[in-house]
Amino acid sequence: MDTNSASPGRGTPPGPPDPGLLRRLYRDLALTRAIDRESLALQRQGVFPAYVQVLGQEAAQVGSAAALERGRDFAFPTYRELGAAVALDADLTGYLASHRALWHGGLWNPRECGLAPLNAVVGGPVPHAVGWAMGAQLDGTGGCALAYFGDGASSQGDIHEAMNFAGVFRLPVVFFCQNNRWALSVPLREQVAGGSVAARAAGYGMPGVQVDGNDVLAVHTAVAEAVRRGREGGGPTVVEALTYRRAPHSTSDDPTRYRGTPEEAAEEAEWAGRDPLELARRLLLAEGAADPEWLDRTDRAAALRARRHADEVAALPEPSGEEMFTQVLEHPTAALREQQEEWREWHGYRADWEVAENG
């Protein structure tokens, strides 16, 4: 595997892995893969206006989120963390509702599962996570924040400010970079100086770890250690999961316009040969944690559940436009109420006009 500077063995647990943990991780990987496929189909059918695939990054997301403690920690996702939603046991129909673009931030309860609403701002979840971590430190909850971002977002100024702040105040936060080697259409070599996001951690006075992002157990171990360190007052950690974006950036993207050199084709084939689910299957079999029958049964169960969530999200009724105003503030301001009245008046005009036009 060409991972530039990944340290072999880093993130590997010291003893035999827990069979129960391995089976849980595989169930979440299989469900993430199955829902990802159904979601792409929903986009092709016109149910979703657009979708961002997770293909190839399932282990990085599942392994990291599974290291959190529900009710104590909190994860801050971008728009591509389906695997984190699965691992944190979020309402997955509610999660998928975000991709229908009819609801702001999805329909799941962030407080219940510890997963913040989707954030489409490049690098946006990181300062949010740091703010939450500051609150957890002040309140003495022992909670730890997990901030998701990519190698492209690592070039944003917000990331620098958030890491510096967290380093100064030794906040309990894990900066989790999914280095999938492509910042939309720009390859890693052209936008990350030095080639390593983890190496930047030293400049902020915190440890930085590179881990094989396609190895779900290695990711889980690295993040669990970073969370433990944060809880004990050791401050933040950067964990860089080395992986590969095997799908287009989104369904609106055409990677053939920017990927095509022989070296890039070889790199893509190499990572495709290290599929996270296949690696996990081999691990469970090698450790005696499951047999082929259990693995196949788990895959079938995941496919059925994914289909159910797809059917449910497609059947959800469209929300009332009133929610633009009623879901913003518990106690609306005078200006907001005035805007709501204007909207109702306009909505009434439009309804009358449509009746007149259609007879």
Which pLDDT score is estimated for 101?
84
Which pLDDT score is estimated for 321?
83
- Which residues are known catalytic residues? 245, 249, 258
Which pLDDT score is estimated for 12?
54
Mean pLDDT for 295-308 is: 98
Which pLDDT score is estimated for 346?
86
- Report the SS3 class of residue 67: coil
Greatest alpha-carbon span in the chain: 74
Which pLDDT score is estimated for 319?
84
Please list, in sequence order, all residues whose beta carbon lies within 8 angstroms of the beta carbon of residue 245, skipping any fewer than 6 positions away. 55, 56, 57, 180, 181, 182
Which pLDDT score is estimated for 131?
98
Mean pLDDT for 78-91 is: 97
Mean pLDDT for 314-332 is: 86
Q: Above 60 in pLDDT, residue 13?
A: no
By DSSP bridging, strand 237-242 and strand 208-212 are parallel
Which pLDDT score is estimated for 2?
35
pLDDT band at 248 (very low <50, low <70, confident <90, very high): very high
Report the range of poorest mean pLDDT among 40-49, 170-179, 233-242, 338-347.
338-347
Which pLDDT score is estimated for 310?
98
For the stretch 199-204, contacts whose Cβ atoms lie closer than 8 Å and that sit 24 or more positions apart, written own/partner, are 199/5, 200/154, 200/163, 200/238, 201/163, 201/175, 201/237, 201/238, 204/163, 204/164, 204/166, 204/167, 204/236, 204/238
Mean pLDDT for 334-351 is: 86
Neighbours of 56 (CB within 10 A): 23
Q: What is the pLDDT of residues 182-236, one digit of tens each?
A: 999 999 989 899 889 999 999 999 999 999 999 999 999 999 999 999 999 999 9
Mean pLDDT for 117-142 is: 96
Q: What is the pLDDT of residues 33-60, one digit of tens each?
A: 999 999 999 999 999 999 999 999 999 9
Which pLDDT score is estimated for 14?
64
- Asked if residue 65 lies in contact with residue 75, where contact means CB atoms within 8 angstroms, the answer is yes
Which pLDDT score is estimated for 359?
62
Mean pLDDT for 329-338 is: 91
Q: What is the pLDDT of residues 63-74, one digit of tens each?
A: 999 999 999 999
Beta bridge partners of 150: 178
Mean pLDDT for 311-328 is: 88
